[in-house]
Structure 1
Amino acid sequence: MITESARIAPDVVMRPATPEDAGGLARARVRSRAHLEPWEPTRPEDYFTSQAQAARLRSQLEECRAGRTAPWVLDRAGEMVGSVTLSNISLGPFRSGVLGYWIGVDHIGRGLATAAVTQACVFADAELGLHRVEAGTLLDNVPSQRVLAKCGFEEFGVAPEYLHINGAWRDHRLFQRILNDRCP
């Protein structure tokens, strides 16, 4: 389980998600809904409520306790401005996880995504002992691809019809970052 927090900007802390973050995440999701819609699965209307975010957090935290997920929020003095999640964590000889992240519309262009992805990789290596982190982007999500490149990720393929995003199965560019070459 992730227990560490890190300051990723003068006014933003990346910290482990807690159940108390539900309301703040719901508000951030409402503010950023139109901005995030092209890049995400189609969300039911209730996804944008505190109750749905609380249920999502409970599920994530259960997965966290089982060692399969590591969820963080980006907290700016109590305001949620984004989140980062390592999911599908696999140990043993694979030692890998899948990275997902979003930044609220009011906070893009400040380097928060780059700082958060970098910090997630530090945590993945130091706290989780992972060997690699994987991420995928829609083919035309150039801003996210730039973030991943800045953070040391390399493209390793294209996955046809990889995820159901914004109402259709979409092709994705796949990226990975090798964190270390330690034996498992």
Structure 2
Amino acid sequence: MPLSVALSDDVVLRDVTIDDAAALADAYTRNRAHLEQWEPARPDDFFTEAAQKRVVDLQLEQAGAGRGVFLVLASGDDVVGRLNLADIVRGAFQNGNLGYWIDADLGGRGLMTRAVTSLVEHARDALDLHRLQAGTLPHNKASQAVLTRAGFERFGYAPRYMRIAGEWRDHILYQRILHD
């Protein structure tokens, strides 16, 4: 089921398409310095349209198999952020992992909180998931604020959880239970 939500007069949350590859390459290039402290180290090739086509192809395959929801925040023809629900597990777990980023120039406007809230509602109502989880670096207060405003609760601390910016980094873990 497609997702499309107006987050503001100029930003829309929608499903990623293969046609977004060039705009994604531009967005990652434009935000490279901003994102490098929050994301895995990226090879130079990652910032190309060809690499983004490969990423989107894989994501569309995962979405088609019900293992993920992959979205962009778009302003006109520009991509200004990403929001992904990956590693969806069905059966007794009914869980997905949330990840996101927003353009350095758009932080603090509440866009990502609205985007995450929209995806939470979609995960509950359309995907019938029970739980979402997300992790943040301990010093990423902006991301922690987004999760808290979107109804997530801190549930753990994971030492050396993920390799970010070339080093194994601790993460604070958050969850949101969608059905009681």
Q: Deviations over 1:28-84 (max 9, x none)?
A: 111111011100000000101111011000001101111111101111112111010
Show CA shifts across 1:69-126 (max 9, x none).
Answer: 1101111112111010000101112111000000011211211111111111011111
Give the Cα–Cα distance (whole angstroms) in 1 for the partners of residues 44 and 77 of structure 2: 24
Which residue of 2 is the match for residue 3 of structure 1? 2
Aligned residues of 1:154 and 1:177 also touching (Cα < 8 A): yes
- Find the residue that maps to 2:31 and give its secondary structure: helix
* Alignment partner, residue 28 of structure 1: 27
Aligned length: 180
2:71 aligned with 1:72: yes
The CA RMSD over aligned residues, in Å, is: 0.8
d(CA) in 1 for partners of 2:91, 2:53: 31
TM-score (norm 2): 0.97
In structure 1, what is the equivalent of residue 105 of structure 2? 106
SS class of match (1:149): helix
- Once residues 126 and 22 of structure 1 are traced to their aligned partners in structure 2, the CA distance between those partners, rounded to angstroms, is 29
CA contact (8 A) 1:41 1:166 kept: yes
Correspondence for 1:136: 135
1-side partners of 2:164 and 2:3: how far apart? 32
**Structure 1, unpaired ranges of 5+:** none
| 1:86 aligned residue | 85
Separation of aligned partners in 2, 1:73 and 1:19: 12
Structure 2 letter corresponding to 1:28: A
What is the TM-score normalised by the length of structure 1? 0.95
| 1:121 pairs with 2:137 | no
Post-superposition Cα deviations, 1:100-153, rounded to whole Å, max 9, x if no partner, equal: 000011211211111111111011111111011100001111110011011100
**Structure 1 residue 163 corresponds to structure 2 residue 159:** no
Q: Identify unmatched segments of 5+ residues in structure 2.
A: none
| Separation in structure 1 between the aligned mates of residue 126 and residue 49 of structure 2, nearest angstrom | 30
Look up the equivalent residue of 1:169 and give its one-letter code: W
Report sequence identity in percent.
50
Q: Residue 4 of structure 1: CA displacement?
A: 2.4
- Residues of 2 paired with 1:34 and 1:96: CA distance? 32
Partner of 1:41: 40
Give 4+ residue runs of structure 1 displaced > 3 Å after superposition. none
Amino acid corresponding to residue 140 of structure 1 in structure 2: H
